[in-house]
Amino acid sequence: MPFGTLYGLAAEARNRLYDLGILPSYPLGARTISIGNLTAGGTGKTPLVALTAKLLAENGEKACVLTRGYGRANEAQFVVVSDGEKVLADAAAGGDEPVELAWSLLGQAAVVADANRVAAAERARKRFGTTAFILDDGFQHRRARRDLDIVCIDAMNPFGGGMIPAGTARERAAGLGRADIVILTRTNLVDSTDTLCENIFQLAPKAVMLRASTKIGGLVRLEQFSCGQRVRAAEVFQRPERPFAFCGLGNPENFRKQLLADHFELVGFIPFSDHHRYCQSDIEAIEKKAVKCYAESLITTGKDAVKLTGLNFNLPVWVAEASVELDDEKTFQQMVLG
């Protein structure tokens, strides 16, 4: 039997045990919103986590993002990535996505990394007085009980092309039946979502379905990003001349397509594996290829930028900050705020 089939059966059996109450789930002691995927990475989830945390903070909640922090040195370790006022961990200790979130949520939400999110929530409530949790990548983390389940589906690759390891699906599409909200992401990068919406409705007839478009909402120079200086999505920015792009994401091709859709005139692109840790030889290889393409600048993502501290560049480096727009913000806000 193929390994992907075995993986799918194991996921279904585990979900069934939770559905029957044989495996217990635990409340986190505050309103809990899970934002996750059916697939492993690359669905545009991080901007939605940030949007949700900001919405909660703007409405008087003391928000905290709970995340595993994939790719960090010790995923079992409890790490306060940010207390909401300062970023307290680097990407090696806290994970690249948690640190990226921490920078974008300064003054609005704490960020905590721990594989045991139930225990982490208790420590966060005591330390920060948390009144609302956001479970980052929490759809399969059923041990933590949630009040709202949000699932992101990438319109460019909805169901991952099969189960892990043949594809990127963590569970079968039928799992969408647990969702309260299904958000189709990157809808502006495909011709139509009509057929996909019909398929999702069959799988999750009780869920609210929203569409999200993504764009490059701002640019910031790498040295400014490292100092915590942000560029707001509404700010008008000038695109760099002849940029050469690089990134290490779950689906790096999505970054290239997003840049092209937003009219960046790329001269080249290098993808790396998800959570790639950069060293100086990587930078030398990137710049060597960029120079051959007559590039005048480099451009990357926030997730990559947090791992570039201390590395030397000859070309200017720009960090592209993603933003997301929902087709029905009012419904989203009402459901998030309960």
Instruction: Tell me the C-alpha distance between 298 and 147, whole Å.
Output: 42
Q: Are residues 134 and 145 in the same domain?
A: yes
- Going 74 to 280 to 310 to 262, the CA torsion angle's sign is negative
**Is 309 within 8 Å of 90 (Cβ atoms)?**
yes
Q: Are residues 107 and 127 in the same domain?
A: yes
Those residues with Cβ within 8 angstroms of residue 74's Cβ, 6 or more apart along the chain or in another chain: none
Q: Are residues 25 and 50 in the same domain?
A: yes
The reported pLDDT for the residue numbered 235 is: 47
For residue 193, the tally of other CB atoms under 10 A from its CB is 17
Q: Are residues 154 and 280 in the same domain?
A: no
List the alpha helices (DSSP H) in 132-229: 194-203, 222-225
The reported pLDDT for the residue numbered 2 is: 72
C-alpha Rg value of the chain to the nearest Å: 20
Q: Are residues 208 and 237 in the same domain?
A: no
Q: Are residues 134 and 48 in the same domain?
A: yes
The reported pLDDT for the residue numbered 149 is: 97
Q: Are residues 108 and 229 in the same domain?
A: no
List the alpha helices (DSSP H) in the chain: 3-19, 45-58, 91-94, 96-104, 117-128, 194-203, 222-225, 252-261, 280-292, 302-305, 329-337
What pTM does this model have?
0.92
Closest CA to 246 of 307, 190, 187, 185: 307
Task: Locate 142 and state its tokens.
Answer: 């059923």
Q: Are residues 140 and 182 in the same domain?
A: yes
- Tell me, what CATH number does 123's domain have? 3.40.50.300
Instruction: Tell me the C-alpha distance between 323 and 235, whole Å.
Output: 12
Summarize pLDDT for 290-301 with one digit per residue, the tens: 999 999 999 999
Q: Are residues 113 and 247 in the same domain?
A: no
Q: Are residues 166 and 260 in the same domain?
A: no
Q: Are residues 319 and 329 in the same domain?
A: no
Residue ranges for the chain with pLDDT beneath 50? 231-236
Summarize pLDDT for 110-138 with one digit per residue, the tens: 999 999 999 999 999 999 999 999 999 99
Task: Please give the residue range of the domain that contains residue 146.
Answer: 3-213+325-337
Instruction: Tell me the C-alpha distance between 154 and 38, whole Å.
Output: 10
For the chain, the domain total comes to 2
